Every structure is written in C-alpha cells, then in structure tokens.
Amino acid sequence: MSKLKIYGVPQSRASRALWAARELGLDFEHVATHFAKDTNTPEFKQVNPNARVPAIDDGGFKLFESMAINLYLAKKYDKGQGLKPNSVEEDALATQWSFWVMTELEKPLVTMLLHNVNMRPCEPATYEQCEKDVRRPLQVLEEHLAGRPYLLGDRFTIADLNVASVMMWARGAKVDMAPYPKIADWLKRCISRPAAKG
C-alpha cells in the first residue's frame, strides 16, 4: 500500500493535518500543494474536487476537510499517543468540538485575520460584527476550560488539536484575550507541543 500523502503547504489549513501526523509519529509524504497555484488542476481535483487544501490520499482512500482528516488520522493511527477518542462519548465530544470551532469561530477569526494582514480587507461593520460573533463561543470555551486542562479532560486529544489549530488565529485576528485567561493558558499548552512546531 502506498504511503499516506498529505496535500497542502504548511501556510494553510494543511498545517492542522501535518500537526496531527507529527503527533501520531506517522511516516507520510508531504505534497506541498499551494492553495493559490496548484489546486485548480484535474490531477489535484481527483484528490479534492473542491480544489482546496488540505486533502489526503491514504493508500487510495481520499479525504478532504481538515477536521474530518484529523479525526480519521487519530482514530486510525493512534498507537497509544492518547489523541484518539477512547469511547463513543469521547468520539462524540471530539466531533462536537471540531464542528463547533468550524461553525462558531473559524469564519469570524479568518475574516479579522485577513483584514489585519491586508489580504482581504473588510468593511468596518463586518469587522465589528466578527468581533461580536466570537464573544459567545469564546466565553463557552473559557468556562469549559475552567474545570479541566484539556477539552475532553486531563489529556491532549485530537479535539484540542482541532480547536487549537483555529484558535491560533486569534492573535492575528487581534482578539483581546484578557477576558479569556483559561483559553490563553490552554492554547499555550497546545501550541508549545513539539509536534505543533514544524
């Protein structure tokens, strides 16, 4: 069977899948597909018809969507690293937090980030709405982390990796983290892991 291939430059959402693969100690091939230059080709669209990264090809099994990729990698390849959910309930919670971060936080954070780096400036009213939109989910996360060091309890799991990979953008989005000290501590713990750098 051919080696797992992970498509996408690290300066993209592919960094999430690369982080997961490193946590799991996987032997994989990294195909540095650039989101602006290399995705709109018939070859790449065989892997991801959406022409976006990340995508994976695991011995002929193709998958897109960063969160789905990471849940798959953790469940398939965890060999005691503790990333994968250990019960149906943990699985449901990892899915919950992955869906949650994509639907509640990713869009406003990306909008603010791209505005701040001058890549896709938005109207002041849009920016203000995004600032408002992140407050409710951030408060939810803050309160959840008040009682535990990691999202599912006392160990770092794929749920933390998925949520942290989006929360990393809070800095570039210039979100004031002062009201969210638990999130700030948790994020530091997550992104200081050796596999997060790379």
Residue, CB closest to ligand GSH: 52
Classify 132 as helix, strand or coil.
helix
Closer residue to ligand GSH in complex, CB, 47/141: 47
Closer residue to ligand GSH in complex, CB, 111/180: 111
Residues that bind ligand GSH (CB under 6 A): 12-13, 35, 39, 51-54, 65-66
Minimum Å gap between C-beta 109 and ligand GSH is: 13
User: What residues have CB less than 8 Å from 140, skipping those under 6 apart?
Assistant: none
Closer residue to ligand GSH in complex, CB, 114/195: 114
Alpha-carbon distances, residue 71 vs 14, 24, 121, 135, 140 (angstroms): 14, 12, 33, 26, 22
Region of residue 2 (left: phi > 0; alpha: psi -120 to 50; beta: else): beta
DSSP string, 158-170: HHHHHHHHHHGGG
Minimum Å gap between C-beta 107 and ligand GSH is: 10
Minimum Å gap between C-beta 191 and ligand GSH is: 18
Taking the C-alpha atoms of residue 53 and residue 15, their distance in angstroms, rounded to an integer, is 10
Minimum Å gap between C-beta 9 and ligand GSH is: 8
Closer residue to ligand GSH in complex, CB, 102/191: 102
